[in-house]
A and B are shown apart, each in its own frame.
Chain A
Amino acid sequence: MSRIRKDYEKSRRARFLSFVRGDDPVVTPDRTEEWKRKVEERAESDRLENASYLELPDIDLQARERERINTKGVRVFRRIYYVLALVMCFLIAGMLILNIAYMPEFGSATAPTDNEVAERYLEKGGEETGVVNAVTGMILQYRAFDTFGETNVLFIGACTVIILLLHREGENAANRRRKKEAEEAGDTAESDRVTFSPEYDRRGDIILQKIASLVVPMIFLFGLYILLNGHLSPGGGFSGGAVLGAGLILYNQAFGFRRTERFFDEKIYDVLKVGSLCLYAMIIGYYLFTGANGIASIVPLGRLGDILSSGLILPINLLVGVEVACTMYAFYALFRKGSF
């Protein structure tokens, strides 16, 4: 004998039948106003400074997510999950460590890596590429295409960080408030560019400024030295560029964005970045094209050991260095205040 249900309309069968009949879809209530209010409340209470990023529906999503992760089954599952994850990690780590035991011994004369490739890089590298530093010769001549790709990885990385973090002036509610506060305090110099909390800002630190004014020129000189000597001694584009970028960041830490932007603002950043990458692409295109087609390059290799030797490597090193320095500074600036 079957039970008679009073709430027939709500049963699965009835809902399924109405679905088959093609009745009107259940209309989800319009909650846009509610979401908007929630977002504004949050922005006001300043718990989420970045409210412009949290689009309306996600508030609801977060609430549901919080509800979901607090049920008991989920808690038990998470505990088991953590244990299993740890076990897996140790298993994989153990397997990799065990694997080392079977690998050829590092530096042994019979190791497979000690073959004709390494031999040619070391023995003929100077003669064929005109460099004293074999590593530079390897990455910029023998495997030039890889290095070009690697430089583009930096560029695309900077682009992606820009997508994530770039906030133009006035776009962010927190920025607007800080700017207003600065204006009220009468700090006109800062009011046009206050984007981060003053308590973390070390621009007024006299020790830092004095030391920086001593050290930064030396860092720049050292960076240039590494760039220019990339083909003669350890160094090259990537390391020299990193040193230059570190110098820029130190200068910025000590003296702030306003003084840095006297010589390095967004425009110059764009010119340097695009110019260096395009020139690099042209050089590499020329090198790959002539090399592959067996055309003699018009750039002479020069005398081994001279600063103006090794053909295209010196300009490539300079361009890579500029690109790396720009990218490092761009990361810093974007994470620090969301723009240049």
Chain B
Amino acid sequence: MDWIRNLPLIAILLSMVSGPVSSVLSGRAARRVSFFVVVTSGILSILVFWYVLRTGEPFTYKMGAFPAPFGNEIRVGVLEAMTATFFCFIMLLSLIGGYHFTAADIAEDRENLFYILINLLLASLLALIYTNDLFTGYVFIEINTISACGLIMIRGWGRNLLAAVKYMIMSLLGSGLLLIAISILYGITGHLLMEPMHESIVDIVREGTYTEPLTVAVGLFCVGIAIKSALFPFHSWLPDAYGYSTCASSAILSSLVSKGYIFLLIKFFYRVIGTDIIRSIQVDDVLFVFGIAGMLIGSMSAIQQPDVGRMIAFSSVAQIGYIYMGFGINTEAGVIASIFHILAHAAGKSLLFVSLNGLSGGNWENMNYRKLRGAAYRNRIAGVGFAVGSLSMVGIPLLAGFTSKVYFAQAAFALPSRSKMLVMLVALAVSTILNAMYFIGQTINIYTPLQRKDTAFSVKAGKAMWVAVVSFIVINLLLGIGSEPIFSWIQTGLSRF
């Protein structure tokens, strides 16, 4: 066996060990450990990505001495390795972009705790991406949830605590539903590993023995993941959680945490249940309806927000709606568009949060749109970052958001059902206009010069902000211009998922 196959395990273990080690280190040392771990995991993921691209075949790696139906297992293909690499880099850039705010917002004796949360969040994201076992997925969802909760409340303001309580209640409800779903699935299949479970499910559907529990389990699983990733009717926890956290937390929460859950949902659809069975249960139609509702209502709520942080947070609801709409049409093109949108949204939203914090100086009292007028002249790089992020979210050509919208539109045209195609295209168009209403308006606002200078507050652009924003802009451009190879990687990854 090639030595490179051990690397995913090493990346997961490294980030998990660094958590406890950081708990006895000082804040500075913990920060160094955390940066080291994120960079190392990124490099290891690149190596794995290169390896799976070269071999062209996904590989399974048994976790321990016992093979598949008996012991744990991870499975690494092109899609997994690509997502892991991408997530590591977005996390690194978010940490760099939020560097000064992290130091300013978090009490000194808690700084190492912040980096523990980051390390374990990374471990859980990697494990969620690589796992081939439904129960391992659940365990790491717990780690993901708890560390996300810590990231929300580490700033220690009353608002953060409220947001964390909301997040905890909603997220634990989701976890509970997931656990029930997994138990039911285990009860009717007798397996927890994904591939043996899939075989049993195919048998079940063919014989028609336990179809009712199967439907219930699939429904509960989807609702659980939907709650955790803030699909439209379950998004009430999201704006406070994303809007008022410290800069790095907001960027990481909005771009990565919900995406880890969604990645597990893709696995569930493709590897555990199978898309044909999903179609026969008609869960995809439900996701389609709620995805479209989320696209529209998320944007409409965003327009109403005077607070730009909350506005960007509500825009996440809309973007999550896009992703679920792609799953909802349940064609290959739709799911590819959704996965591409996961990447595009992660790149754009973290850029927006980092630049917003740069514009407002990390203080939410300054995030009111009136106070942000002319802010782009006070912190030029953050202004440029905000403009690029906004344009990407709206879907201006050359940027990531445009490409994903094109893929969604192409997926819509390939649909057999006329009415569904029409609904999807109209929703895309309306949602784009709504996006433009608040994002372009806000960009104009921050570039409108102030006539009286005395109302301005001063912010300073550090080097870290420069590095992060420029890198994010480059990633957005790369996703927008060079989308062809990424598209083909997603396609190959998905075909052998």
Contact surface of A with B, Cβ cutoff 8 Å? 22-28, 53-55, 57-58, 61, 95-96, 99, 102-104, 111-118, 120-121, 128, 141-146, 148-150, 152-153, 155-157, 159-160, 162-164, 166, 168, 270, 273-274, 277-278, 281-282, 284-285, 287-294, 297
Cβ of B34 to closest chain A Cβ, rounded Å? 14
Residues of A within 8 A of B5 (CB): 292
A163, B452: Cα distance in complex, Å:
42
From A143, A153, A278, B143 is in contact (CB under 8 Å) with A153
Given contacts A25-B373, A287-B64, contact A145 B136 (CB under 8 A): yes
Residues of A within 8 A of B216 (CB): 95-96, 99
Cβ of B213 to closest chain A Cβ, rounded Å? 5
Given contacts A163-B153, A281-B13, A291-B63, contact A143 B190 (CB under 8 A): no
From B20, B153, B188, A155 is in contact (CB under 8 Å) with B20
A28, B117: Cα distance in complex, Å:
36
Residues of B within 8 A of A273 (CB): 20, 23
A90, B143: Cα distance in complex, Å:
30
Residues of B within 8 A of A103 (CB): 184, 187-188, 210, 213
A144, B135: Cα distance in complex, Å:
12
- The answer to whether B71 has its CB under 8 Å from any CB of chain A is yes
A159, B127: Cα distance in complex, Å:
20
Residues of A within 8 A of B142 (CB): 149, 153
From B133, B156, B186, A53 is in contact (CB under 8 Å) with B156
A55, B162: Cα distance in complex, Å:
12
Residues of B within 8 A of A146 (CB): 72, 133, 135-136, 139
**Residue contact A291 to B139, C-beta cutoff 8 Å:** no
**Residue contact A152 to B213, C-beta cutoff 8 Å:** no
Residues of B within 8 A of A156 (CB): 19, 116-117, 120, 143, 146-147, 150
A282, B21: Cα distance in complex, Å:
13
- The answer to whether B370 has its CB under 8 Å from any CB of chain A is yes
**Residue contact B19 to A152, C-beta cutoff 8 Å:** yes
A26, B159: Cα distance in complex, Å:
25
**Residue contact A153 to B448, C-beta cutoff 8 Å:** no
**Residue contact A25 to B146, C-beta cutoff 8 Å:** no
B interface majority secondary structure: helix
**Residue contact A270 to B23, C-beta cutoff 8 Å:** yes
Cβ of A270 to closest chain B Cβ, rounded Å? 5
Closest residue of A by beta carbon distance from B370:
A25
Closest residue of A by beta carbon distance from B65:
A291
Residues of A within 8 A of B449 (CB): 22
A55, B23: Cα distance in complex, Å:
27
Given contacts A99-B184, A99-B216, A160-B149, contact A53 B117 (CB under 8 A): no
**Residue contact B70 to A117, C-beta cutoff 8 Å:** yes
**Residue contact B6 to A292, C-beta cutoff 8 Å:** yes
A103, B16: Cα distance in complex, Å:
37
Chain B window 375-412, contacts with chain A (Cβ cutoff 8 Å), 1 for yes, 0 for no: 00000000000000000000000000000000000000
The 6 closest A-B pairs by CB, nearest first: A291-B65, A58-B158, A25-B370, A149-B139, A277-B20, A112-B190
Cβ of B359 to closest chain A Cβ, rounded Å? 14
Contact surface of B with A, Cβ cutoff 8 Å? 1, 5-6, 9, 13, 16-17, 19-21, 23-24, 61-66, 69-72, 109-110, 113, 116-117, 120, 123, 127, 133, 135-136, 139-140, 142-143, 146-147, 149-150, 153-154, 156-159, 161, 164, 180, 184, 186-191, 200, 210, 212-213, 216, 365, 368, 370-371, 373, 448-452, 455
Cβ of A3 to closest chain B Cβ, rounded Å? 29
Residues of B within 8 A of A58 (CB): 157-159
- Given contact pairs A23-B451, A146-B133, A278-B17, enumerate 13 new A-B contacts (beta carbons under 8 Å): A25-B371, A58-B157, A99-B216, A102-B212, A117-B69, A142-B66, A143-B135, A145-B72, A146-B139, A155-B120, A160-B117, A274-B20, A277-B19
Residues of A within 8 A of B146 (CB): 153, 156-157, 160
Cβ of A38 to closest chain B Cβ, rounded Å? 13
From B16, B23, B64, B370, A141 is in contact (CB under 8 Å) with B64
From B9, B61, B150, B370, A159 is in contact (CB under 8 Å) with B150
A314, B13: Cα distance in complex, Å:
21
Residues of B within 8 A of A150 (CB): 139
Cβ of A52 to closest chain B Cβ, rounded Å? 9
**Residue contact B64 to A142, C-beta cutoff 8 Å:** yes
**Residue contact B452 to A164, C-beta cutoff 8 Å:** no
**Residue contact B190 to A164, C-beta cutoff 8 Å:** no
Residues of B within 8 A of A160 (CB): 117, 146-147, 149-150, 153
**Residue contact A168 to B116, C-beta cutoff 8 Å:** no
A25, B369: Cα distance in complex, Å:
9
A25, B370: Cα distance in complex, Å:
5
Cβ of B4 to closest chain A Cβ, rounded Å? 12
**Residue contact B69 to A116, C-beta cutoff 8 Å:** yes
Q: What would 28 A/B residue contacts be, using CB atoms closer than 8 Å?
A: A22-B448, A22-B451, A24-B451, A25-B455, A55-B158, A55-B159, A57-B159, A58-B158, A99-B216, A102-B212, A103-B184, A120-B70, A141-B64, A146-B72, A149-B139, A149-B143, A152-B123, A155-B20, A159-B150, A164-B161, A166-B109, A270-B23, A274-B24, A278-B20, A285-B13, A288-B13, A291-B65, A291-B71
Closest residue of B by beta carbon distance from A143:
B72
Residues of A within 8 A of B188 (CB): 103-104, 112
A54, B123: Cα distance in complex, Å:
33
Cβ of A118 to closest chain B Cβ, rounded Å? 7
A113, B133: Cα distance in complex, Å:
16
**Residue contact B63 to A144, C-beta cutoff 8 Å:** yes
Cβ of B408 to closest chain A Cβ, rounded Å? 32
Given contacts A58-B157, A142-B70, A145-B64, contact A166 B186 (CB under 8 A): no
Residues of B within 8 A of A157 (CB): 146
A96, B177: Cα distance in complex, Å:
11
Cβ of B169 to closest chain A Cβ, rounded Å? 13
Residues of B within 8 A of A128 (CB): 65-66
Given contacts A146-B136, A163-B154, contact A102 B213 (CB under 8 A): yes
Given contacts A155-B20, A270-B23, contact A55 B187 (CB under 8 A): no
Q: Quick one: which of A27, A99, A121 has the most chain B CB within 10 A?
A: A99
**Residue contact A288 to B63, C-beta cutoff 8 Å:** yes
**Residue contact B113 to A163, C-beta cutoff 8 Å:** yes
Residues of B within 8 A of A288 (CB): 9, 13, 63-64
From B16, B21, B71, B149, A274 is in contact (CB under 8 Å) with B21
From A25, A112, A142, A292, B61 is in contact (CB under 8 Å) with A292
Q: Quick one: which of A103, A278, A290 has the most chain B CB within 10 A?
A: A103
Residues of B within 8 A of A270 (CB): 23-24
Q: Quick one: which of A149, A166, A278, A288 has the most chain B CB within 10 A?
A: A149
Cβ of B116 to closest chain A Cβ, rounded Å? 5
A146, B63: Cα distance in complex, Å:
10
Closest residue of A by beta carbon distance from B369:
A25
Residues of A within 8 A of B187 (CB): 103-104, 111-113
**Residue contact A292 to B9, C-beta cutoff 8 Å:** yes
A103, B373: Cα distance in complex, Å:
60
From A96, A114, A281, A289, B17 is in contact (CB under 8 Å) with A281
A144, B120: Cα distance in complex, Å:
18
